C-alpha cells in the first residue's frame, strides 16, 4: 500500500521517472501537509543526500517551511558539495543556492 510519504520520497529519489510534475504542483502542498514526519524520515533513511535535498526543497516550495528546515538540518550532517538536479525535460530551470540545487521543473511556481 502506498503512503503519501512513500510517493514523496520516490519523487525525490527518482524525479525523472515521475512524469506528471505539472499535475503534482496542484496537490504537492496538501500532500506535504498530511505527511507523518517520522514515517517520512523512515522512508528517507535509505535515500542519498541528493534525494534528501530534493525532498527538502520540494517541502519548502509546498510552503511546508518548518518541515523543510527540519529536513535541511538533518541533511546538513550528510552534506556533500555536488549540485543536485530536480529535473524533468523542460526548458525552464533555476539554480537554488540554499539547496545547491537546479530546479528544472519550476517547483517554485507552486501556488498553495
Question: CB-hemisphere CA count at 13 Å for 11?
Answer: 26
Q: From the CB of residue 6, how many other CB atoms can be counted at a distance below 10 Å?
A: 13
Q: How far is CA 70 from CA 23, 41, 45, 73, 76, in A?
A: 26, 10, 15, 5, 10
Q: pLDDT category, 49, cuts 50, 70, 90?
A: confident
Percent of the chain scored above 70 by pLDDT? 77
C-alpha span between 17 and 13 (Å, rounded):
9
57: its cell numbers:
526543497
Residue whose C-alpha cell is 503534482: 24
82 or 60: which carries more pLDDT confidence? 60
Which pLDDT score is estimated for 20?
81
Residue 58 and residue 86 in contact, taking contact as beta carbons nearer than 8 Å: yes
Per-residue pLDDT tens over the stretch 8-39: 999 999 888 887 877 888 899 999 999 999 99
Lowest mean pLDDT among 20-24, 50-54, 59-63, 105-109: 105-109
Structural domains of the chain, count: 1
For the residues 38-48, what does the mean pLDDT come to? 90
pTM of the model: 0.76
Q: Evaluate if residue 89 carries a pLDDT over 50.
A: no
Which pLDDT score is estimated for 22?
78
62: its cell numbers:
509546498
Which pLDDT score is estimated for 15?
85
109 or 17: which carries more pLDDT confidence? 17
Amino acid at each position: 500500500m502506498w503512503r503519501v510519504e512513500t510517493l514523496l520520497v520516490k519523487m525525490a529519489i527518482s524525479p525523472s521517472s515521475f512524469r506528471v510534475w505539472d499535475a503534482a504542483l496542484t496537490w504537492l502542498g496538501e500532500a506535504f501537509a498530511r505527511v507523518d514526519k517520522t514515517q517520512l524520515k523512515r522512508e528517507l533513511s535509505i535515500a542519498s543526500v541528493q534525494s534528501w535535498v530534493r525532498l527538502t526543497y520540494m517541502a519548502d516550495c509546498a510552503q511546508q517551511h518548518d518541515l523543510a528546515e527540519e529536513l535541511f538540518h538533518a541533511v546538513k550532517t550528510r552534506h556533500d558539495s555536488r549540485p543536485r538536479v530536480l529535473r524533468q525535460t523542460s526548458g525552464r530551470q533555476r539554480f537554488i543556492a540554499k539547496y545547491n540545487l537546479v530546479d528544472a521543473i519550476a517547483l517554485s511556481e507552486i501556488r498553495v
